[in-house]
Structure 1
Amino acid sequence: MMSQQINADDVASRRTAPNAISEDVILDAAATLMSTIGIRRTTMADVARTADVSRATLYRRFPNVEALAAQVTTREFEQIVATAPLGGGHTRHDLVATLVHLVREARTHPLLRRIIELDPEFLMPYLLHRTGRTARNQLALVRSLLAAAQDGGHVRPGDVDAMAATVLQMAWSFALTGPVFADPATLDSELSDLLERYLRP
């Protein structure tokens, strides 16, 4: 009996060894939970159970749910970017099409919708007080696309950093509050028109 218990403990230990667990397994579990019950209702114990890892293993990777949520949202945005129709990436058309795609995917993403519905306070610090990792990544992407289009003469001259910040603010508005003010079916075309007018030489 004792031997069986030792063997069971050994199996559990191997299963939850920190180095043996892919971070994506943990993030997948967290994303599923947060997209279903929200961030505030998700606990570290929930994530550990869903990912089939020990809480000790989970805490070695992430100190709390907030840090886990930040990593999840960053990864989800990176996955959205990976599906973007970048085209050649050097024309205004490529830039606008990419931005509209990113905004549409973010606006309809289950995790963002659940955050807006259940945990809007999670977004408040990043909207009102500071940029987070996800926002910095978004700003860097917009800046690089703008700079390439400017170099080709497809976007008007101007301070690329200021323009990137303005474009990102437009994008966030259409992703977060757009559905409050307009029919979602029209948001993509309206954002496309707005960006075209703002960026056209």
Structure 2
Amino acid sequence: MTSLRHTPDPGTDHGSDPRDGYLDAARDCILDLGWRRTTLTEVARRAGVSRMTIYRTWSDMQQLLGDLMTREWAGVVAATVAEEDPGATAVDRLVGDIVGTVRTLRVNELFLRIVELDPELLLPYLLARRGRSQDAILAMVEEAVRAGQAAGQVRAGTPVVIARALVLAAHGFVLSTHTMVDDRATETELDAELAGLLARALAP
């Protein structure tokens, strides 16, 4: 899963593209106000630019949110992949990347804020269609599965189907783990079960 290694993490220096500064302002707005109370006008104010500057980049908040979520989740994946052990097996690397991404997403402040105040924003990506970040993650998992198969370390099967099944399994652990945690099962134990499920699904 190397194709996002150079994707900048949220909150870091994004280089010379002014859009990143606008997305930073939008992120701050959503953290402070929530999605429903955030407007392009408020984003412009926080970014220190005119309203028309923002409107020329995004026609509405939905478009801006799509770009913000794509950047945010790509940064989460990139940070996780950067911690890979290059000496590990293909299965161990892929399992570590998926479980690490799940754990990081669950505590990501933007993700938590959306779930807390505006969970309906996530429903289209769970019930109706995939988003750009989901497609990017699927492509990376598929690539890793193909590479593992070529090395004889991942079981035979259609890489695209295997990748989609793994991502579907991960969805539940991102969104619903908290509903399964109590005095009989900890989050750490559930994550260990996810790792075991993924390893068994990939092993030759």
Confirm or deny a common fold (TM above 0.5): yes
Separation in 2 of the partners of 1:90 and 1:71? 34
The match for 1:114 is 113
TM-score by length of 2: 0.83
Identity %: 38
Instruction: Return closer, same or farther for 1:21/1:150 CA change in 2, 3 Å cut-off.
Output: closer
Letter in 1 for 2:49: V
For the pair 1:22 / 2:18, whether they are aligned, the reply is yes
Does the Cα contact within 8 Å between 1:26 and 1:51 map onto a contact in 2? Answer: yes
The match for 1:134 is 133
TM-score by length of 1: 0.85
Q: Secondary structure at the match of 1:83?
A: helix
Q: Which has the higher contact order (CA 8 A, sep 6+)?
A: 2
Does the Cα contact within 8 Å between 1:90 and 1:152 map onto a contact in 2? Answer: no
Separation in 1 of the partners of 2:62 and 2:68? 10
Separation in 1 of the partners of 2:190 and 2:46? 36
For the pair 1:146 / 2:142, whether they are aligned, the reply is no
- The more displaced of 132-141 and 183-192 is 183-192
- The more displaced of 123-132 and 84-93 is 84-93
Distance apart, 1:144 and its partner CA: 1.0
Instruction: Return closer, same or farther for 1:179/1:52 CA change in 2, 3 Å cut-off.
Output: same
- The more displaced of 21-30 and 51-60 is 21-30
Alignment length (residue pairs) = 182
Instruction: Return closer, same or farther for 1:148/1:86 CA change in 2, 3 Å cut-off.
Output: farther
Does the Cα contact within 8 Å between 1:95 and 1:149 map onto a contact in 2? Answer: no
Name whichever structure is richer in helix by fraction.
Answer: 1
CA RMSD, 1 decimal: 1.7
Letter in 2 for 1:163: I
Separation in 1 of the partners of 2:136 and 2:17? 26
For the pair 1:190 / 2:193, whether they are aligned, the reply is yes
Separation in 1 of the partners of 2:48 and 2:143? 40
Does the Cα contact within 8 Å between 1:107 and 1:113 map onto a contact in 2? Answer: yes
Does the Cα contact within 8 Å between 1:31 and 1:72 map onto a contact in 2? Answer: yes
- What whole-Å deviation, never above 9, does each CA across 1:57-92 have from its counterpart, x for those lacking one? 000001111111110110011111221223338611
Does the Cα contact within 8 Å between 1:156 and 1:200 map onto a contact in 2? Answer: yes
The match for 1:166 is 165
User: What does 1:60-79 align with in structure 2 at a 5 Å threshold?
Assistant: 60-79=56-75
Q: Secondary structure at the match of 2:59?
A: coil
Unpaired segments ≥5 residues, structure 1: 1-19
Does the Cα contact within 8 Å between 1:36 and 1:114 map onto a contact in 2? Answer: no
The match for 1:80 is 76
Unpaired segments ≥5 residues, structure 2: 1-15
Larger-gyration structure (1/2)? 1
Distance apart, 1:179 and its partner CA: 1.6
